[in-house]
Copies of this chain bind each other. A is one copy, B any other.
């Protein structure tokens, strides 16, 4: 099997006879010629079977092959400028490895429900393939960015014994004799890590038992949560925009073919690599919304329509700074000059995608945090170890959280977030 070459390597074998293991994703032509659309995971290529140049039994195999049959194909690699992938194989021999009878995802249109019921097969098709390849690039670019910028990865636990922000959006787990929950954020663990390693990030699955069915929500999704000790919010914003820009650049560098498969214009993405991103205050955002006749008052949080409108006023992601204290989490730092807002920022993606990052500087004062926890009707004892971070050498620090699938949905130009993860989990979907 080591004599097999991969489709992505075919340009190196121009004019040579090679053997490839692949699946037949489509067959066109009839009579004297058959075009087999092949894929092997590394790429796509057409093999041309010509009746006049092949032994009868070889042509017959090619002519009758079914969708998603796996085969060894042998033939000569040649250029084909009219082909999407630039190269094709003049078939000399074909051997069936695994049959495929009645493959369910035929070339006709299928409903979304059906496609995701067959997600284990649907991943073989062009659109999911392209999106998951881009996901792969974004994951790798994330590790590169944080490693190159002196961050240490701190994996936060998924199983937690306490339920700080209330249990209504948490999934309960039976943990031997104890009650546990699936974590919906690694931030507090990230803050503990920042006090030990300076700059850290978590990157793992998180869980939210939201009953809402929207195109922006999954019950299981991946989050990246960096946390930086000795850093104020202004420097954190610079890291955030450099990080997003590096992700988009990595996709432009590595996934031109996939962007084409998705009809996603690289020119649109190129704008997103240009820094800095605009910054507006929450106050300014409210003014903009009021002028556009939104019914919103200062102090209210934004919903999807508001975020979409704001994001569409800019051709790059935009930071909205300093939200009202009342709509944000207790740990966000008080504004130095104002009592009603916190030192926070959400990053809204253009083209109607809305929030992709939420972040803030964190308050450093033990007494203030205990007071705020009580104000929210919670018990400071639940936060005992977290509060230790303010008891023993508290320092200025900032952090943010980025939803991986939201970024992928935006970069790939998809309508629904379920496209952005190999095996989506939603209110009604636990399979496959």
Interface residues of A (CB under 8 A from B): 1-2, 4, 6, 8, 21, 23-24, 40-42, 68-70, 97-101, 103, 118, 120-121, 123-124, 128-129, 132-133, 135-136, 139-140, 143, 147, 150, 152-162, 171-176, 178, 180, 182, 189, 192-199, 204-205, 207, 209, 211, 219-220, 222, 229-232, 235, 364, 385-386, 388-396, 421-423, 425, 427, 430-432
Contacts and interface: CB of A to CB of B under 8 A. Distances in A.
A101 B391 contact: yes
Contacts of A174: 171-172
A255 to B, nearest CB: 12
14 contacts: A1-B231, A23-B393, A97-B393, A97-B394, A98-B394, A118-B388, A123-B192, A129-B196, A132-B152, A132-B154, A136-B147, A154-B422, A161-B430, A189-B422
A365 to B, nearest CB: 9
A1 B235 CA distance: 9
A100 B23 contact: no
Contacts of A42: 150, 198-199
Given A40-B230, A98-B395, A132-B196, 6 more contacts: A41-B196, A120-B189, A124-B195, A155-B421, A159-B171, A160-B430
Contacts of A389: 120
Contacts of A220: 157-159
A41 B192 contact: no
A98 B143 contact: no
A333 to B, nearest CB: 13
A24 to B, nearest CB: 8
Contacts of A4: 230
Contact of A100 (B97, B222, B392, B421): B392
A197 B129 contact: yes
A385 B198 contact: no
Nearest to A157: B423
**Nearest 5 CB-CB pairs, A to B?**
A41-B198, A161-B430, A98-B394, A70-B393, A120-B192
Contact of A385 (B41, B120, B211): B120
A393 B180 contact: no
A133 B156 contact: no
A204 B101 CA distance: 34
Contact of A123 (B129, B175, B193): B193
- Which among A140, A176, A392 has the highest number of chain B CB atoms within 10 Å? A392
A139 to B, nearest CB: 5
Given A129-B197, A156-B423, A230-B1, A392 B171 contact: no
A95 to B, nearest CB: 12
Nearest to A205: B158
Contacts of A204: 204-205
Nearest to A365: B98
A193 B122 CA distance: 10
B172 A173 contact: yes
A70 B152 CA distance: 20
Nearest to A254: B147
